[in-house]
Amino acid sequence: NWTPEHFIQTTVERVRAQVGNGHAICGLSGGVDSSVAAVLVARAIGDRLTCIFVNNGVLRKDEFYKVQKTMREQLGLNVVAVDAAQRFLDKLAGITDPERKRKIIGNEFIAVFDDEAKKIFEAEKSSGEEVAWLVQGTLYPDVIESSSVHGPSHTIKSHHNVGGLPEDMKLKLIEPLRDLFKDEVRRIGRDLGMPADIIDRQPFPGPGLAVRILGEVTPERVAILQEADEIVVDEIKKAGLYKKVWQSFAVLLPVKSVGVMGDQRTYANTCAIRAVESEDGMTADWAPLPYEVLRTISSRIVSEVRGINRVVYDITSKPPGTIEWE
């Protein structure tokens, strides 16, 4: 008979027994899964958990600051924030292939994460502890879908190895959520007293906006998509639909078209709106968003986002489409 309270209690006890006096690290993404995993483990071992949050340059607008603030101030987590945006964007320059983007972001993430992990564990080592723990927010669908079209490159999720640790230090994995579905994770998060804006957050891919910018990822294109994305999230929330749809977001296409603004001819980017309903992300139906909501999203994007002059709506379900465009 599964209840959140029971799950939390047994998990906290198990993690506490496992980790003993050891130290654990956890990569935060700002999403539900890694946050719930971190809060659970922090319940068990307190500030012997260090969370690492990396700005990969393709986060949502202001997310690097907002997430840090929430994680520290509202969740009381011990967070090391690393702004590596430039490093990621430099590596992404000129790359258009989706899987290469994923691979680059995955590899850079691991490199940045390893550097931080090493610093943290080296400091701990002086206390004589030899086993280090890595916390991951892997869910049941991640376990069974790990051979999907996107392969095992789901950034944080596939991070099973931290290199460069002192030789006699072993890294062991803690995956407290690996038997759970998303709705169960949300119930646990609520029971842990976590704020609704984290618990109800829609999934966001590890490679972030990079897989929503078709073609090359440049700082200018990231900025354009961040603005459009913010409008989509804002309007979907205002319409009371944010929790009803599984994901809703904007995609920046490598397509320019002609438009007219005032008495000026424009020649600018096209943005696609994607909104889907789903239980677990494995299959999805395109969401029949009300025309009024689509109208507001479209007119706001075209008038407020410099660089976009046309908005289209994606009416493809999964399968045969995927939720993300890349």
Nearer to ligand XMP, 218 or 316 (CB): 316
Binding residues (CB under 6 A) for ligand XMP: these are 102, 148-150, 153-155, 157, 203, 205-207, 247, 281, 318, 322-324
Question: What is the spatial distance between Cα 52 and Cα 23, in angstroms, rounded to a whole number?
Answer: 13
206 labelled as ligand-binding?
A: no
Region of residue 164 (left: phi > 0; alpha: psi -120 to 50; beta: else) = left
Enter the tokens of residue 308.
Answer: 């976009």
> Least distance to ligand XMP from the beta carbon of 228, Å?
17
Nearer to ligand XMP, 247 or 298 (CB): 247
Q: At residue 191, what are phi and psi to the nearest 5 degrees?
A: -65, -30
Q: At residue 246, what are phi and psi to the nearest 5 degrees?
A: -75, -45
> In 3D, which of 321, 203, 308 has the Cα closest to residue 252?
308
> Least distance to ligand XMP from the beta carbon of 203, Å?
4
* Strands annotated E in 196-279: 247-261, 264-277
CA distances for 38 relative to 35, 86, 194, 226, 271, angstroms? 5, 27, 11, 27, 35
Nearer to ligand XMP, 93 or 282 (CB): 282
> Exposure of 232 by Cβ count < 10 A (0-12 exposed, 13-18 middle, 19+ buried)?
buried
Nearer to ligand XMP, 72 or 318 (CB): 318
Nearer to ligand XMP, 137 or 189 (CB): 137
Nearer to ligand XMP, 189 or 206 (CB): 206
> Least distance to ligand XMP from the beta carbon of 302, Å?
25
How many helices and strands, by DSSP H and E, does the chain display? 10, 9
29 labelled as ligand-binding?
A: yes
> In 3D, which of 307, 255, 309, 244 has the Cα closest to residue 277?
244
60 with 88: CB under 8 angstroms? no
Amino acid in position 302: V
35 labelled as ligand-binding?
A: yes
234 labelled as ligand-binding?
A: no
30 labelled as ligand-binding?
A: yes
> Least distance to ligand XMP from the beta carbon of 205, Å?
3
Nearer to ligand XMP, 129 or 277 (CB): 277
Strand order in the sheet with 170-174: 79-83, 49-55, 23-28, 131-135, 170-174
Q: Annotated binding residues, as ranges?
A: 29-35
Q: Annotated binding residues for ATP, as ranges?
A: 29-35
